[in-house]
Structure formats: structure tokens, C-alpha cells
Structure 1
Amino acid sequence: MTDIREAAEAAAEILLNGGYVERWVEGAIFPCEMAFFIAVCSLAGVDRVIESGRQDGYSTEILGDWASQNGRQIASVDLEHDAARAAACRQRLAHLPIQLVKGSAYEEFGRLARDGVGRRLALITDGPKGWPAISMMAAATDDRVQVVALHNLNPGTGGRELFERLGGQQSFHEAALKDPGPRWRELKAREIAFAGDTAARSLETSSLGVLRLDDTNRSLLRNAWRSEFGLHQPVMVRALWQLGAYAAATKLYGLSYRLLRR
């Protein structure tokens, strides 16, 4: 694949053929957003995706479908607070090559990112949200990480502004795909037809930021130090992971929220 338009056409084909548009549920990442993430991962040569937050497994199933077609690997972390919901999700995903991990993302995400599996990684987070999620991904970013993505980056938020500063407006699919192909246009039309009357979020302005990393923005993300991170500065989280103190990383996030509300 040579460009984002071609990659987006192939990704749209996966979602259309899998019937994923009509299986979307409120709160999940939109079909076009997932197709864009897959397209960027394909362009970047990603061979392993680490996901945080799977809820009912909608986006996870799409990732598993994509991975099953090309031998890539998927790992997904979730707290699984609701046992019945988690069991149904695991059953839904049982036929796919996905490593399902139960636990705190602040612990398990670090373990998975540091386990040495995969040569070119992508990180996607739909829980936690906001600055804790950004600091977690920044802490996990090393030279293998090619793509990072975060959901619920709504217009006017600091997180969205950060993604646009590091990757430009093309970190969001409506800016990256000014002249989409026919399969993408079909995917978008079906998305609007199915979810347009019920979705709580805008279908025109995506909130999944997908940042492709190069040496420059990878370093800026990895070494970010911001007041919004509170106590969970990426360098501190990374240091705890390097020491094997994964549970302490979770406590650091909790302490930051209790003391600073961030």
C-alpha cells in the first residue's frame, strides 16, 4: 500500500464485509474511526496492537478480524468489572487470535508494551480516558511504537490539541481523507444511515485521534512533561514499570487523582 487512501479502502472492505456497521453500539468507537486506525497501522507496518478498554468487544473484534487475515497479533486489556458482560465478550472473541488480559491498564499495558513481543507496535486506548491515557501511552512508547490512538478526543480538548500539534489535523480521518475512495464512502454512508439518529457524538468530526510516530514526535510524546499529568508523568510511570513495580503505577494514578483531581 502506498498511501492512506489505498489503505483506507482495504480497511473499509474489512468492516463492510464483516457487517460491523450494523453491529455498532453506543459508546463504541465508530466504524470509520476503526477503519482509519487499521489503515494507519497497515501503512506503518504494525505487527502487534495493544488495546486498553474493550467493554463488549466491538473494536476488539474488528482488530481480531484484521489480524486474522495477515498474521498480526492483538492484545487487549480490560478490568472486566461486570463478570457476565466480560464472559459474553470473551465468548464473542473466542474464535479470534487475541490475547485477552484482565486487570488494570496501568499495570498490564506496561507489561504488554515491555514484553518484547512484536517488532512494530500500535497502542490504542478507549479506557482510561484523557490525560491519564495519554501519559500511559507516552510511558509505553519506545522505538518499536509506530502508532498511538486515543478515543474521545473531542474538539476543544487539550488532548486533541496535543494530537494535532504532534501529528497535524490528519490525525483525524476527516482531515486525512479529503478524497476517499468508493469503499470508504460506502462505509461512511452506512455509518450515518445506521447511527445518525441515535449516536451521542458527531459523525462528522471524529474523536479517535490516530498519531503516526516518527523520530521527532515519538521523542516529544515519550518525554512529555505536563501539568495535566499531575503525579503520573510518563517518565515516572516508565521508571516504575522498568523496576517491575506495575502495581505501584496504578497506585500513582490513583494518588494523583485523589490529591490533584488529575
Structure 2
Amino acid sequence: MPHRERGGWSQWSEWSLCSRTCDGGVSRQLRTCASPAGCRGEPVRYKICNMQVKVTCIQERGGWSQWSEWSLCSRTCDGGLSRQLTTCASPASCRGEPTRYKICNMQERGGWSQWSEWSLCSRTCDGGVSRQLRTCASPAGCMGEPVRCKICNMQERGGWSQWSEWSLCSRTCDGGVSRQLRTCASPAGCRGEPVRYKICNMQPCRGNVSLLEDDIWREQQCSAHDNTPYGGELFHWRAHRDDAEPCALTCRGTPHHSGQSPDAVRTVG
């Protein structure tokens, strides 16, 4: 019993004997399907064989006529056969075959059109989909898909500007903070933060830091948040020393809000 491929087709048979011994004949292979309604493809395929020219044909009484025109292909796609005929004035004396074949119409059944241009992206940002389409002359007979897609416009919505240069470090030693800023053309639609920080100047300071230097540093840290909304409002932030925690960096917003700086707690000296 022949082995079966996925989908129900058996293995292809051996190639049959060539229909002619020279001048081009046809050989074929067959396969069978356990479930004809569920098998794609054809149960037979052909190849041309014995293409060598026959030089020993003897044309005696009458001889062969000229070959006819090639017949219409037996199939419009997926490979068919066309044939030519000749006749002999005295069949008993003509050597060779009165028929010869060639394979024709090897294009796939249905015939997909060319792919269309890519469509406009479905979204202007945050990732959308663009697609291409093609049509089939015979939808039931075309293999493959009529549509293909690609992802497009992956940039974040709102349109952040480029990050600014890093600001000067807030301290010259013992670790300070530098920041970068960016702006958004549509604040309601931008994801992410408009500011980012990095630690800088981590080398130890020599000697104690003066109270004046520390006050200047504290004011710089707090005023950096003047343009950052807090609870939907903007405030002017000033440094505030808390007697209970004199080393903590506390910022007080005019008129009444206060909060911790992103740089957390600083110590004097």
C-alpha cells in the first residue's frame, strides 16, 4: 500500500514509459486521494521525454504529411497537454507515431494580480498597520493570501522634541544632578516624562562645604521644578530648611505646596 502525504494524497507513482521513442514524447506520474474533496493539487503530472531526433525513419509510399498546428492546451493552468497530428498515405509503410505532445500552460490556476501599493497607515503614531491587496481571477483556485500587512508609524504619539543638552551639574563635587528636557507638541498625547536626570561629579569634595554654597545648591535643585506641573498647577519652588531634618532637601511651592526633590536628601559638609 503506498504511503500517504498530509492531506490524503498517495506518493507519486513511477514515471510511465515515454509515449514515443524519439522526437519528443510524454511520460506521466499518478497519485490517488483518499478524500477527493479535501486534496489540493492534481492527480497527474507530465514531463517531456525522448527529445532526440529520429534519423532512421524511412518514408516509403506516400509518407507522413506535415504536422498539424498545435492543438489548444488541455488545461488553462497548472499544466496541460497540446498535441500535433500527422497522417500517412499508406499507414502500413510509415514508421513513427502520428501524434506528438508538449506540456503547456504551466502557470498556477487562478492567476494572482500584482500586489497593490501599500495603503496609508491605520494610525499616525504608536504603531499602525498598512496593507497590500491582490485579486484572483478564480478565487476558488488561487493559493496564498489576498492581503499582507506590515507595522508602520511606530513613533510615540504627540511628538516629543529631541532631548536638550545635559544641564550643568548642580554640584562640583560629592555628587550632583544634571538634567535633560524635552517638549511635546500635544501634551495630552505624549507618553513618557519631559525631564530625566543623571548623577554627576561624584568625586569627593576637599574640606567642608560652606553654608552659602549649600544654600545655592538647594535653590538650584528646587527652582528646577518651577515648570513642572504639580496637581495640575505650576508653582515657584524655594528651598526650605526643616529644623526637624536640617540635612533634608525640602522644597516649598508658593503659596503652600511642599515636597521632596528628586535628588532626595543632601547633607552639609
* Normalised TM-score (structure 1): 0.19
User: Which of the pair is proportionally richer in helix?
Assistant: 1
> Of the two structures, which has the highest relative contact order with CA contacts closer than 8 Å and spacing of 6 or more?
1
Q: What TM-score results when the alignment is normalised by the length of structure 2? A: 0.18
